[in-house]
Structure 1
Amino acid sequence: MTKFLLSVHVLAAIVAIGPVTVAASMFPPAARRAHAATAGDEADLGTVRLLHRICRIYAKLGLAVPLFGFATAAAMGVLGDGWLTASIALTAAAAGILVAFVLPRQEEVLDALGADNALERTDTVQLAMFTGAFNLLWATVTIIMIVRPGSTTGA
């Protein structure tokens, strides 16, 4: 059962978190292109809307990652290990950044693009900063999950 839970946990991370990290990273430059586009060009704005939709939907699907992670950790008997506690804290921080800063700022940028292109460069720069922090936290969690400091499995 442990192998099954671990497989589902890893697949959920790849399928759910991967698209969020990519779409969120693509959003700020796409928003800048949409802002610079001519008023009649809706293609760039459509791209920005699609990237935001991907982030919203896959963020919800991403809830499966910690769910299966906890189930896997319980099956492996590692719930009290330091590396797991650290990865849980970093995962919570990443989720917090996504929910509190990235998604709301994407909505603000979309609103600004819809309101006669009232978008400021600082809006997309700040969004890119929060997105980078989110991505860095997920990369760190991935490394911790692979290396598992203190593990006796030889990894």
Structure 2
Amino acid sequence: MNAYDLTHLDSKGRAQMVDVSEKAITSRTAIARGRLVCSSKTLDLVRHNRTPKGSVISTAELAGIMAAKQTSTLIPLCHPIALTKVTVEINLDPSLPGFDILAEAKTNGQTGVEMEALTAASVAALTLFDMLKAVDKHMRIEGLAVVMKSGGRSGLPYLTAVQQCD
């Protein structure tokens, strides 16, 4: 198999879930990052807890964690895995202006957790967008990416969490 073979397709082009039964069980971690860009006014409303829908950051962080746990039901052919840790951290970033979102997923298993980390970060961003759309019609979600992965064949992290989206 070369780097361009699609593992989710069999020899006849039919969809298949990748067989991971022969892979070693290892500790696996992935971190995904994304941003929600908004107006300075919107950022100030959140900073001073004056948004119409309450604590948007706490709600979005919780939504991201909940979403990570549902990844295999949302993404076709994604393995259901036992997550050992999921965190979502959202920070205000006045330089955007907007929000910086970091989501980390961990497991001990035979397949990686990149999709769970990406799902957590994207649903956190979508939740922020939903909760703030009444006050800001020009927001955008950008820069969603896996910024760190460890475990499995790839071993050590291949990017750092601060380098990818800067």
TM-score by length of 2: 0.29
Greater strand percent: which structure? Answer: 2
